[in-house]
Homo-oligomer: A and B are copies of this chain.
Amino acid sequence: MSQPKYIHALDIPVPVRAELDAGTQKYFALCDEKLGMVPNVLASYSFNAAKLRAFSDMYSELMLGESGLTKLEREMIAVAVSSVNNCFYCLTAHGAAVRELSGDPILGELMVMNYRAAELSPKQRAMLDFAYKLTKSPNEIEESDRQALRDAGWRDHDIWDISAAASFFNMSNRMASAIDMMPNEAYHSQAR
């Protein structure tokens, strides 16, 4: 009943792998190797190499680059933000990542459903409270909100990274919702 209807709802066909440029083919082969799949978000963007590269470069820098935040913490932000925006694609893909990286399936569910129900360190809780407010009412963010992060133990470079991750998923959630992007089914059973 609920099988993904399509990769996304627009009439912009996902190119056949063999027809992609060499760079994209190589990147997708790496995805296959590391993730066991090419995430549908990347397949969606592959109709245009420049758009794909812009998206994947930003994504990689943000989620995989050096940071005072662990990869798990960045994924926790991804999911908590996506929960506010009810983004099916991102909750599915990044919920799996939280389960995977934490080895804690319940933590993934908590981020999807309501991060306030999770037993987190005050530092991580402050991180998610900031991401939540930035998502819901960005116009009301004030110095006191940044200070709360510092008081919880985050450095200013970390505040940049928390802000950047939360902001990125506010973009990504909307792009996925705008075109009704469907996640790869494999995510659902990962790391349960």
Contacts and interface: CB of A to CB of B under 8 A. Distances in A.
Interface residues of A, number: 76
A152 interface: no
Copies of the polypeptide in the assembly: 6
B177 A141 contact: yes
A65 B51 CA distance: 10
Contact of A189 (B110, B173, B192): B192
A26 B160 CA distance: 25
A8 B112 CA distance: 20
B143 A160 contact: no
Contacts of A9: 143, 146
Given A110-B2, A166-B178, A139 B85 contact: yes
